[in-house]
Amino acid sequence: MLELYTAPGTCAMASHIVLAEIGEPYAIRRVDFQNGQQRSPEYLAVNPRGRVPALVTERGVLFESPAVLAYLAQRYPAAGLAPLDDPFAFAQAQAFNSYVASTLHVAHAHRMRGTRWVDDPDALKAMQAKVPQTVGEAFQMIEDHMLAGPWVLGERYSICDAYLFTVQRWMKGDSVDPARYPKIAAHTASMQQRPAVIRALAEETA
């Protein structure tokens, strides 16, 4: 059985949703970020990066959301969560997930984890002040150019939709107005009706 290490409010929710979509048994291991469990020797033995998601498989542990999502889609092709039969379309899915991880998520992290990049207090404040702009611009790029509609890849639901739903939950905390992005808002409303999303949200707070 696959085991997913996750923490409420993090990007690991995307992997959690995909596991629920697949329909196979899985186990959730919650990491208590508030009390620093991600830095404990026990968790660092699972993931030396001290982050989530971490997906424990029979062959080892996988890290980083784009890799975990692609692995799940390829391991369970019958779930139809990625266009595995079309190399170009699959590359488009990978491009979307890479953009979320490398651009949007990094911009978001500047609000709470700026010490990954700088130590100077003034620099930290400047980074935090710019978050609404940089995160907002990333969502605008998705709204205008990367969300085909109704799902990220068009008519076909995929791993990308779990990822987008996960990161849009950060908007208000980053002082970004969701009303500026009607396509993303419609996507969120559709996602909230999916049984897998309802299940993952319930398990996140259980």
Count the helix, strand and coil residues of the chain and give each as a percent rounded to the nearest 5: 60, 10, 30
> Looking at residue 27, which CATH number applies to its domain?
3.40.30.10
Mean pLDDT to the nearest integer, 167-183: 98
Give the alpha-carbon dihedral of 92, 19, 107, 142, to 10 degrees: 40
pLDDT tens digit sequence for 180-196: 999 999 999 999 999 99
Cross-sheet strand order for the sheet of 2-6:
26-30, 2-6, 54-57, 60-63
pLDDT tens figures, 105-126: 999 999 988 888 899 999 899 9
pTM of the prediction? 0.97
Domain hosting 134: range is 87-194
Query: pLDDT tens digits for 52-86?
Result: 999 999 999 999 999 999 999 999 999 999 999 99
Whether the predicted pLDDT of 146 surpasses 90: yes
One domain for residues 73 and 101: no
Residue for token pair 């890290």: 63
| Helix, strand, or coil (residue 37) | helix
Indicate if 94 and 185 belong to the same structural domain: yes
* Rounded Cα distance, 18 and 70, in Å: 10
Query: What is 145-188 written as a DSSP string?
Result: II--SSBTTBSS--HHHHHHHHHHTTTGGGT--GGG-HHHHHHH
- What is the CATH number for 150? 1.20.1050.10
% residues pLDDT > 70 (the chain): 100
- Residues 166, 149 share a domain: yes
pLDDT of amino acid 114: 81
Asked if 200 contacts 20 with a C-beta cutoff of 8 angstroms, the reply is yes
pLDDT for position 24: 96
Average pLDDT over residues 89-113: 96
| pLDDT reported for residue 138 | 98
Residues 28 and 111 in one domain: no
Computed over every residue of the chain, the mean pLDDT equals 96
Residues 17 and 27: their CA atoms lie apart, in Å, by: 13
Share of the chain above pLDDT 90, in %: 93
The verdict on 13 and 31 lying in the same domain is yes
